[in-house]
């Protein structure tokens, strides 16, 4: 016969399992981000605890952002209470948009607008490449809802180093779960409070309204955005919200129930966002934590374009981590970058792991090529009439 203490223990374990299995939302935090922000006291938050955490971060983060953008005097005590490791001060001659990394982690420079092009087609292409069981991860905001619509994933995780991006996901998902019967996607999106939206031409403001889909997508992608938001809002029951707060190079991507994980990184692996040392950390993590026989596909997309590269990492039986390229388009720097590199081709960190000569034999992801957004459409030349041909007609 079980003792009373034993019964209480069993009931406690059953209660914990019921809560864990029945969670509608979970946020996992990397150890590195726990070191960055003092209020991140746990590696896992569930359900209402996520909302409470985001409320705390928003309240304290707004104070930090006001100091960064010099809307208020700098308070060293407030800054250290928010983060013991980040330096939010700017050098005297620095512009307001310099010192981006601490600003991003603090939630003061938030890239809500997607600069990727043709994402639904890319996700359909990836689904055709990897039709089986898989875990999926994506950065950004709008990309998540397009992946939700276009791909069949066992688990779908929104990953970002910026907690305000994840907060927007959480708030939107909560609105969809409790929406009135006649609610539409745009109305629910307008209920999200966006703060400190990243712009390079104007200083971020504390609050910015959601005007329409263009708040989250470039004009050329507006139809895709609207379709994916409408699809998500119209679902009778959405899956559990899974969020991961951390940088890609600080995260483990070992598949759970599936044989592979697929990570859409957008252009987060560019040298200005991911250093060589950080990339090497990502590579070492794959080598250490990826089980034998399991695979990770990392999808890189060139900024402001449709061109992608799909890299595969697979752990062999001898524990060797094999790196290969499934397909690769011609990657070029966008016209939005500095003049010296605009339109020029480049390699990624993954390309440098391989024999560069072998890149020439790698198939294109987009067999027919992709649309160029750098070139203005050429005017059609007026057809010249041949008087001799005209004479023949008569």
CA 184 to chain centre: 24
Tokens of 241: 């919200």
Q: Which domains does the chain have, with CATH numbers?
A: 119-192+218-361 (3.40.50)
pLDDT at 22 over 70: no
Give the angle 154-159-160 at the CA atoms, nearest 5°. Answer: 170
Mind listing the pLDDT tens digit for each residue in 160-219?
Answer: 999 999 999 999 999 999 999 889 999 999 999 999 999 878 889 999 999 999 999 999
Residue among 203, 206, 174 at smallest CA distance from 191:
174
Mind listing the pLDDT tens digit for each residue in 326-363?
Answer: 999 999 888 776 777 778 889 999 998 887 777 778 89
> If you average pLDDT over residues 380-393, what whole number do you get?
43
Mind listing the pLDDT tens digit for each residue in 202-240?
Answer: 889 999 999 999 999 999 999 999 999 999 999 989 999
Q: Report the percentage of the chain scoring pLDDT > 90.
A: 70
**pLDDT bracket for residue 302 (50, 70, 90):** very high
Predicted pLDDT of residue 389: 44
**pLDDT bracket for residue 385 (50, 70, 90):** very low
Look at the pTM and tell me if it is higher than 0.85. Answer: yes
Number of H helices, E strands in the chain: 12, 9
**pLDDT bracket for residue 15 (50, 70, 90):** very low
pLDDT at 7 over 90: no
> If you average pLDDT over residues 287-297, what whole number do you get?
93
Predicted pLDDT of residue 372: 65
**pLDDT bracket for residue 241 (50, 70, 90):** very high
CA distance 380 to 67: 53
Q: Torsion angle of alpha carbons 355, 359, 362, 364, nearest 10°?
A: 150
Mean pLDDT of the chain: 87
Specify the 3-state DSSP secondary structure of 13: helix
Residue among 352, 288, 298, 351 at smallest CA distance from 321:
288
Predicted pLDDT of residue 231: 97
CA distance 153 to 326: 19
């Amino acid at each position: 016969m079980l003792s009373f203490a034993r019964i209480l223990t069993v009931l406690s374990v059953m209660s914990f399992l019921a809560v864990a299995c029945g969670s509608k939302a979970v946020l996992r935090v990397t150890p590195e981000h726990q070191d960055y922000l003092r209020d991140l006291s746990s590696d896992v938050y569930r359900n209402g605890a996520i909302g409470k955490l985001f409320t705390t971060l928003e309240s304290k983060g707004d104070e930090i952002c006001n100091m960064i953008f010099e809307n208020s005097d700098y308070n060293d005590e407030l800054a250290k209470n928010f983060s013991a490791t980040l330096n939010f001060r700017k050098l005297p001659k620095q512009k307001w948009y310099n010192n981006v990394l601490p600003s991003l982690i603090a939630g003061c420079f938030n890239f809500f607008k997607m600069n990727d092009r043709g994402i639904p087609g890319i996700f359909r292409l990836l689904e055709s490449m990897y039709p089986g069981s898989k875990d999926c991860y994506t950065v950004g905001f709008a990309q998540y809802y397009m992946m939700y619509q276009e791909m069949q994933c066992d688990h779908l995780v929104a990953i970002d180093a910026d907690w305000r991006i994840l907060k927007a996901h959480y708030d939107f998902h909560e609105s969809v779960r409790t929406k009135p019967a006649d609610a539409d996607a745009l109305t629910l999106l307008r209920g999200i409070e966006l703060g400190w939206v990243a712009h390079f031409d104007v200083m971020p403001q504390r609050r910015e309204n959601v005007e329409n889909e263009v708040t989250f997508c470039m004009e050329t992608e507006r139809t895709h955005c609207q379709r994916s938001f409408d699809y998500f809002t119209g679902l009778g029951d959405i899956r559990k919200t899974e969020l991961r707060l951390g940088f890609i190079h600080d995260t483990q991507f070992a598949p759970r129930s599936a044989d592979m994980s697929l990570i859409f990184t957008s252009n987060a692996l560019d040298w200005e966002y991911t250093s060589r040392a950080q990339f090497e950390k990502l590579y070492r993590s794959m080598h250490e934590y990826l089980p034998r026989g399991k695979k990770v596909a990392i999808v890189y997309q060139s900024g402001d374009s449709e061109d992608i590269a799909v890299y595969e990492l697979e752990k062999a039986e001898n524990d060797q981590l094999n790196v290969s390229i499934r397909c690769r388009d011609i990657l070029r720097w966008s016209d939005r970058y500095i003049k010296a590199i605009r339109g020029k081709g480049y390699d990624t960190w993954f390309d440098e792991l391989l024999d560069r000569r072998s890149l020439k034999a790698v198939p294109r992801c987009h067999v027919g090529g992709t649309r160029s957004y750098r070139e203005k459409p050429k005017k059609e030349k007026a057809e010249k009439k041949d008087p001799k041909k005209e004479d023949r007609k008569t």
